[in-house]
Chain A
């Protein structure tokens, strides 16, 4: 069963004062877009939440999500939240391997059936399940089996949430998102490649304190995926002024102008990158001079090219345009010749024309 709360002891061990905890709760409440008067409730809930059992499954992924969440600089309280859970299975982080590791997963499932939180990173090969197996168990089977006893699932990273890079055309493994396979459990999608660490931990904190957060149509917590990057971008004034970088090394780029023309997907990408930023608030892609790739959106890999402006066409218009030009010319010549022939025939036959004939459409 769930063990007794760990957070107060952990805080004490890290030398964090109660005041520091209050500050953290206030900021966390703000970040979770909850009313500020709920901060004491967040504090109370965090202190008393039982330490949940968490099983973390990694499928077709690059471990970037795990790297991101474990590299958030210590000793922040995000880190402590992560420590406040009982991570019973994570094959990258745990010391055990092989059968011993699988035994740990099975034991955690058995002990906390119906109560544990399942975190998944990576997509699942459905067409060719044998492309990704752990201990001889296909990802598909392991997900179905583990999801059955989970209280909820957090799909961390764009691969787990939307299929991500493995799902990109031509998708050789038939990769699918967690939500495409599991339909009978609450699923929180936390996309990003990788997601911002504090977003991952805040979602965990929300789940521990108030349960499921409010989600958008794509299953993403509204608090973190409610606004586009463009809306909160510090380069937005340059967009409004019509000042754009046209190349990565031009004066506009050096002056820090808007990256729209270099293919920035900020206007269609929902995430808090521009406000929360990365590496403990150091920077985010646009701040370091690179357009947003749109990594929190489904199929971001196939959405018309990273460096093509959002307003530019992304299809085969060049070939089609040439064909259209040739076709138009040919049809025009033919139509003109036909009219000319009609005209000269009419002239020869001395046909009369009055105003009504001229109005007629041929």
Chain B
């Protein structure tokens, strides 16, 4: 059997194939997002949708990105590997992608919220920060004298 008969290399052929795969799940997810945004405005109830919890192919992801677009906020967190947090073109809808230290995807979420929890400084971290700053100031003052 002749391989690569269409002249496309394996990697690009695979990419091409991948980007075309759709499960048809993007549309229902978008409907869920719409309802969740309405709920957020009505009651303040936040929603998290786990994109790893059901079949969601690159084609679906592309459709999701096309419809939601890119928004005003983009943040990269350096916490046990990278995490990308960005607001989509629809304010109140956020995409959160967690990666491990090797850059492999750990989990992907859509959060419908005014501010994703992970962006906020956590109380425990702030407490540790207070202690650290106190130490540093003490050290600084010690050196200054």
Contacts and interface: CB of A to CB of B under 8 A. Distances in A.
Interface of A: 12, 16-20, 22-24, 26-27, 29-31, 33, 35-37, 39, 73, 76-77, 234, 237-238, 241, 246, 250-252, 254-257, 277, 280-282
A254 B98 CA distance: 32
Contact of B107 (A17, A27, A76, A254): A27
B16 to A, nearest CB: 9
B1 A17 contact: no
Contact of B48 (A33, A39, A77): A39
Contacts of B106: 23, 27, 30
A26 B17 contact: no
B66 interface: no
B136 to A, nearest CB: 16
Contacts of A19: 77, 79, 118, 122, 125
Contacts of A252: 1, 3
Task: Give chain A's interface secondary structure class.
Answer: helix
A256 B133 CA distance: 54
B122 A22 contact: yes
B118 A22 contact: yes
Given A22-B118, A39-B48, A281-B105, 7 more contacts: A20-B79, A22-B122, A23-B79, A26-B107, A27-B107, A30-B109, A76-B80
Contact of A17 (B3, B50, B79, B109): B79
22 contacts: A12-B128, A18-B125, A19-B79, A19-B118, A19-B125, A20-B80, A22-B118, A23-B83, A26-B98, A31-B52, A33-B53, A35-B53, A36-B50, A73-B101, A76-B80, A237-B18, A241-B17, A251-B2, A254-B10, A256-B14, A281-B105, A282-B102
A280 B106 CA distance: 10
A22 B104 contact: no
A18 B122 contact: yes
Contacts of A36: 48-50, 53, 109
